[in-house]
């Protein structure tokens, strides 16, 4: 039986389910062309906006490492330390829409069979901002983008009507998605922030607005650690820091938890998983929970900027997994997607030595426990 890497996700055909996520690996034409040459099935552009962007002085992203010798998490480089996470406070692309559109066109001409998704962002505070979303959407799709990813998730926007501030407001999630869907001729994905209590609420709002898929996670809000010698934040400008985003291995279980909340709430919908993926084993967890594609940022940043070795590992891992499971009749991703989604249940459904003693934390004889028994 021959194995098949290809997937169809939100009506788009992908040669494989592995994408570079919107971030520095996808910030330029040359990077995106290199990514497709390396074998990525799709690329989501660095987020494109209409508002002026000026990043902070100095480093916009750094990596934290830890080691068994010092069991310390730090941005300081030391031999033998393993990657813990990435931390960034980079804003969206500082290039204009006029810079991006001819490049989207050229990339699609060079790689017509690969998937290019345009990540876009505007505000949401008034009708003019909703029109900005539409302008961005129309420009990118007319230039040849195969789909749109709405950035409702950047954790460090000052504007109250942008980025994760949209993703934290279910009404704005719906309204913006609907505005984009009014003009969209290509699939629309919404990238949500993990910084809310019940992410399935915002996912539901996006679906009501017409979203074709939900993407998660963007980075988790976080601050850099304080150096115990200098008492300064490990990354700072003039001693000051603001909240930024955590990515990489540290967020894998957190991001999987967010994803499982959504895939359980909407088992028939499409999801693209991100967070802490560097080889197939991690991608597999997202797929088993129901994701149809996965995306990678931190691991690619550390591998020649666009992850040529990461994509090799992902493809080899998928091939080997399908071969190992050929006897089950699995020939492609759809055959095992979502098969662990329903294994996440309430605490009370987990077996314990004596089930009769446990009443979901309520007293056995009191009202609620009796009603639920
Ligand atoms: C330096 C940096 C810049 C990023 N810029 C964007 C962006 O412009 N738009 C976006 O949607 N996500 C952005 N992200 C988030 C990533 O796409 C991704 O969601 C996140 O890093 C988690 O994936 P990872 O664990 O593979 O890094 C950025 C991440 C980093 C580290």
Write the pLDDT tens digit of every residue in 286-337.
Answer: 999 999 999 999 999 999 999 999 999 999 999 999 999 999 999 999 999 9
Atom of ligand 1 nearest to the CA of 295: 26
Is residue 44 scored above 60 in pLDDT? yes
Q: The pTM is what? A: 0.96
What is the edge-to-edge ordering of all strands in the sheet holding 244-247? 61-66, 82-88, 244-247, 220-222
Cα(51) to centroid(ligand 1), Å: 19
Residues with CB under 6 A from ligand 1: 21-24, 46-47, 60-61, 86, 88, 90, 92, 119, 151, 153-154, 191, 218-219, 247-248, 251, 274-277, 296-299
Write the pLDDT tens digit of every residue in 248-288.
Answer: 999 999 999 999 999 999 999 999 999 999 999 999 999 99
140 is catalytic: no
Atom of ligand 1 nearest to the CA of 299: 26
- Exactly one of 72, 140, 154, 173 is catalytic; name it: 154
Write the pLDDT tens digit of every residue in 48-59.
Answer: 999 989 999 999
pLDDT band for position 217 (cuts 50, 70, 90)? very high
- pLDDT for position 358: 84
CB 82 within 8 A of CB 65: yes
Is residue 364 scored above 80 in pLDDT? no
Q: How far apart are the first and last CA of the chain?
A: 49
Coil, strand, or helix at residue 252? helix
Is residue 24 scored above 90 in pLDDT? yes
pLDDT band for position 362 (cuts 50, 70, 90)? confident
CB 288 within 8 A of CB 264: no
Q: Which residue among 245, 254, 295, 306 is best mutated to probe the pocket of ligand 1, counting the most ligand atoms within 8 A of its Cβ?
A: 245
89-118: average pLDDT: 98
Gyration radius (Cα) of the chain, Å: 21
- pLDDT for position 373: 46
Percent of the chain surpassing pLDDT 70: 97
Write the pLDDT tens digit of every residue in 132-163.
Answer: 999 999 999 999 999 999 999 999 998 999 99
H or E element in which residue 272 lies: strand 270-274
Atom of ligand 1 nearest to the CA of 276: 25
- Residue at token pair 């329903």: 342
Write the pLDDT tens digit of every residue in 164-203.
Answer: 999 999 999 999 999 999 999 999 999 999 999 999 999 9
Query: CA 177, 20, 105 angle in degrees (round to 5)?
Result: 70
- Joined together, the tokens standing for residue 205 give 């709002």
pLDDT band for position 356 (cuts 50, 70, 90)? confident
Cα(297) to centroid(ligand 1), Å: 6
Within 8 A by CB and 6+ apart from 158, the residues are none
Closest residue by Cα to atom 3, ligand 1, is 23
- pLDDT for position 368: 58
Closest residue by Cα to atom 12, ligand 1, is 22
Is residue 357 scored above 90 in pLDDT? no
For the chain, the average pLDDT equals 95
Q: Which residue among 21, 31, 163, 195 is best mutated to probe the pocket of ligand 1, counting the most ligand atoms within 8 A of its Cβ?
A: 21
CB 211 within 8 A of CB 186: no
Closest residue by Cα to atom 29, ligand 1, is 23
Closest residue by Cα to atom 2, ligand 1, is 23
Q: How far apart are the C-alpha atoms of 149 and 153, rounded to whole Å?
A: 11
Cα(146) to centroid(ligand 1), Å: 20
Atom of ligand 1 nearest to the CA of 151: 11
pLDDT band for position 16 (cuts 50, 70, 90)? very high
């Amino acid at each position: 039986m021959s194995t098949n890497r290809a997937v169809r996700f939100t009506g788009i055909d992908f040669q494989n389910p592995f994408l570079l996520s919107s971030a520095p690996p996808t910030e330029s034409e040359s990077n995106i062309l290199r990514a497709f040459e390396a074998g990525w099935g799709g690329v989501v552009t660095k987020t494109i906006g209409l508002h002026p962007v000026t990043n902070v002085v100095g480093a916009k992203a750094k990596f934290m490492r830890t080691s068994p010798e010092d069991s310390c998490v730090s941005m300081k480089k030391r031999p033998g330390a393993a990657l813990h996470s990435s931390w960034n406070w980079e804003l969206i692309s500082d290039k204009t829409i006029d810079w991006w559109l001819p490049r989207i066109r050229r990339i699609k001409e060079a790689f017509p069979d690969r998937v290019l998704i345009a990540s876009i962002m505007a505000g949401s505070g008034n009708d003019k901002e909703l029109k900005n979303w539409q302008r961005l959407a129309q420009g990118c799709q007319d230039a040849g983008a195969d789909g749109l990813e709405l950035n409702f998730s950047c954790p460090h926007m000052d504007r109250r009507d942008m980025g994760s501030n949209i993703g934290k407001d279910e009404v704005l999630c719906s309204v913006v998605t609907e505005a984009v869907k009014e003009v969209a001729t290509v699939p629309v994905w919404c990238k949500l922030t993990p910084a809310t209590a019940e992410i399935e609420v915002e996912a539901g709002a996006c679906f009501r607005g017409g979203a074709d898929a939900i993407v998660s996670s963007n980075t988790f809000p976080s601050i850099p650690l304080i150096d115990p010698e200098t008492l300064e934040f490990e990354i700072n400008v003039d001693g000051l820091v603001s909240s930024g985003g955590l990515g990489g291995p540290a967020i894998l279980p957190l991001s999987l938890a967010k994803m499982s909340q959504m895939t359980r709430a909407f088992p028939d919908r499409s999801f693209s998983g991100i967070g802490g993926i560097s080889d197939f084993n991690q991608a597999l967890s997202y797929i088993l929970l129901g994701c149809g594609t996965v995306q990678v940022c931190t691991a690619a940043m550390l591998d020649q900027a666009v992850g040529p070795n990461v994509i090799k590992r992902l493809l080899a891992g998928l091939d080997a997994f399908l071969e190992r499971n050929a006897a089950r009749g699995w020939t492609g991703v759809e055959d095992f997607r979502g098969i662990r989604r329903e294994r996440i249940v309430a605490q009370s459904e987990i077996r314990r030595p004596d089930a009769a003693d446990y009443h979901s934390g309520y007293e056995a004889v009191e009202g609620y426990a009796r009603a639920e028994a």
